Chain A
Amino acid sequence: MKKFICGNDAVAEGVRLSKPHVISAYPITPQTIAVERLSEMVEDGSLKAEYMHVESEHSALAAAMGVSSVGARAFTATSSQGLLYMAECLPYASGARMPIVMMNANRALATPWNIYGDQMDSMFLLNSGWIQVYVEDAQEALDMMIQAYKIAEHDEVLAPVMVNLDGFVLTHTYELVDIPTHESVDAFLPPINMTKQVMRVEDPKSLCISAGNDFNFEFKIKQEKDLQASRKIINEVDKEFGEAFGRFYNGLIDTYMCDDAEVILVTTGSVTGTARIVVDKLRAENKKVGVLKLRYLRPFPSDEIRDVVKSCSRIGVVDKNISFGYEGTIYTNVNSSLLSMEKAPESINFIGGLGGRDITKNDLEDAFNKLLSQESIEKVHYMNVRCEL
């Protein structure tokens, strides 16, 4: 069934189809519509779940941890200040290997206060042990809620997943979205069945234990190895999803016109759609350009990036964040992937979109043309800036 809905609605539809046992919810713009829809679904009985009105984001994730600790399926959602308020609980949940799924509406961080989209919030939590996926449109948002549970709960993964949607641009924009049937999702996503790290009456456990300098390191290495290995599961789940629903997202990355591209723009999230249109325009002018969309930032798709950019002269990395005192965070991550290449392309950082500033077609066309030019260019560019600073 196709419905004309916004990204937040699509998240709620994806969650309803995934049948979580408990939803812990706290409102924050621009995520709020998602938890409003879910409360309506619980009220009208179309979603059989416990709906917890928690008193903060910190408790939203803490409650989800309680749910997950007894082997039930948990969902929560947040954004921006809320994500940072619950930040303590993120490594806590991932260290405890809890397969919680959380939607994050990417939004700017105060100060100055701003409710619009950028990616400063989730970049802050890149090191939290969560799988981070960034979606491009409402359909991908819905589909990723379902995939996220399958990945998170996989016996070899057991890691929480943060599904990121650009605030407003995705959360509040209406699109035609295909909503799968309950039967098809039930066939794809079996009920949660945790066998490890779970408290059961008949088999009591102590969870979230302490481990000193004698064993702590080993727990962390195990966590890291499993997150590294989750790439395989992510790709498998995406393939299986495509076979079941006819929509393939290509796993860790997606590419557009990259095969013969001389220059490539690396993107995440909704700006990818704009970049695709700009590529079409420039291709019509015989300019060999392409787009590489990073779908996942953790685990980071290093091998995939190297493979796609190997014939490029230059690549640009779009960042909707600044790691103050250095550069865009994705740029740093991409550059470290390029280090092991024999002949790496030159890479340039295009920072834009902070506090909801538009990244326009002109901005991206300008970026492509800079990359295509033979001139030497500065490493870090700010796109669409109003005044000299």
Chain B
Amino acid sequence: MKHNAKNITNEEFFYGHKACGGCGESLAVRLAMKVLGERTFAALPAGCMSAVSFIYPNMAFTNNAIITPFASTGAVASGIAAGLKALGIDAPTVGFAGDGGTADIGLQALSGAIDRNDDIIYICNDNEAYMNTGIQKSGLTPYGTKTTTSPAGKNLPGSITMKKNMFEIVAAHDIAYAATASVGYLEDFMAKVQKAKDTKGTSYIHVFAPCPTGWGHESNVTIDLAKQAVDSGLWYLAEYENGEFKLNRNPKEFASVEDYLKVQSRFKHLKEHDIEIIKAHRDKKWEKMRKYWL
């Protein structure tokens, strides 16, 4: 079944939380839970999603959910799955972690889980910085991003690293299923969550999710920006399945990078030269994807 706005359940499993208006990440969690259903066990490390939804005595998840140590999304989710298996209970286990919680501090535990091919779904909500602690640079913060630990000034353009390639790092484990997604393309995202749910073994979805507070944009343009990121080629929709990469969306022409960058205060300072670096990096990536993933 293809999930869409018409047929998706009205039931809410992630409701009454305290996320900011326009939060892309909470939308991803909400819709993923609608696909995964009420039997799901969710594991969330330190980060915005756990901070806004487990505040005693107000719990936002109606399904089973647990906060894990920051580094331990993969390990706790694996432990849950192992415990359920030993008890003879068939129910999905999902980990929801942010970009820092996945690509930095949680990478080792995630790698262990994929190596064991534990039957878990791991969803990385990528908003490109440590937002919960107040917008610090992570391993998934792209080049030229102004954060509170990568200031833009006379000497530096903000972040000077490009962005770890988590999707391919995960695929290099020969994972059962991996995909990239964006909250700008929600039907695609929900279809991938369904695929992950149906996968036996570890699956990984990397969903691009704008953050109005951290990116400095209006809260009503979250979805537009998540679309633009894909359309401009700065993000991409792809899958890794049966040992093969597949590019899901291959725009004939890229939408304007400048239009994407200019509405976000984190990129306001960028000079032409910096934008050229960003575009060159994009083009190199797409050249490879178009050559090998189509």
Contacts and interface: CB of A to CB of B under 8 A. Distances in A.
A151 B85 CA distance: 25
B69 interface: yes
Contact of A212 (B38, B41, B55): B55
B72 A89 contact: yes
B79 A22 contact: yes
Contact of B109 (A59, A71, A215): A59
Given A55-B109, A63-B78, A66-B77, A50 B85 contact: yes
Contacts of B81: 66
A62 B80 contact: no
Interface string A56-80: 1011101111111111101000000
B66 A21 contact: no
Nearest to B71: A58
Interface of A: 21-22, 24, 49-50, 52-56, 58-60, 62-72, 74, 88-89, 92, 199-201, 204-212, 215
B249 to A, nearest CB: 34
B72 A71 contact: no
A207 B109 contact: no
A62 B67 contact: no
Nearest to A53: B116
A199 B89 CA distance: 12
A211 B74 CA distance: 24
Contact of A67 (B63, B83, B112): B83
A74 B41 CA distance: 18
Nearest to B72: A62
A206 B82 CA distance: 19
B75 A70 contact: no
- Which 4 A/B pairs are nearest by Cβ-Cβ distance? A66-B79, A55-B112, A62-B72, A21-B86
A68 B83 contact: yes
Interface of B: 38-39, 41, 43, 50-51, 53-57, 59, 61-69, 71-72, 74-87, 89, 91, 108-109, 111-112, 115-116
Question: Binding site of A, secondary structure by majority: helix, strand, loop or mixed?
Answer: mixed
A215 B89 CA distance: 34
Nearest to A63: B79
Contacts of A64: 79
B79 A74 contact: yes
B83 A52 contact: no
B83 A66 contact: yes
Contacts of A69: 66, 76, 79-80, 83
A79 B82 CA distance: 24
Contact of B41 (A63, A70, A208): A70
Contacts of A92: 69
Contacts of A70: 41, 64, 80, 83-84, 87, 89
Contacts of B77: 66
Given A69-B79, A199-B64, A55 B86 contact: no
A71 B83 contact: yes
Nearest to A209: B54
Contacts of A212: 55-56
Contact of A72 (B62, B64, B86, B91): B86
A211 B54 CA distance: 8
B115 to A, nearest CB: 7
28 contacts: A21-B83, A21-B87, A22-B79, A50-B85, A52-B79, A54-B75, A54-B78, A58-B72, A59-B74, A60-B75, A62-B109, A63-B76, A66-B76, A66-B77, A67-B80, A68-B79, A69-B79, A70-B83, A71-B83, A72-B86, A72-B87, A74-B79, A201-B64, A201-B91, A206-B61, A208-B54, A209-B54, A211-B55
A22 B83 CA distance: 7
Contact of A66 (B39, B50, B54, B80): B80
A54 B118 CA distance: 11
- The listed residue with most B CB atoms (<10 A of its CB), out of A62, A89, A201, is A62
A88 B63 CA distance: 26
A201 B55 contact: no
B56 A215 contact: yes
Contacts of A63: 75-76, 78-79, 82
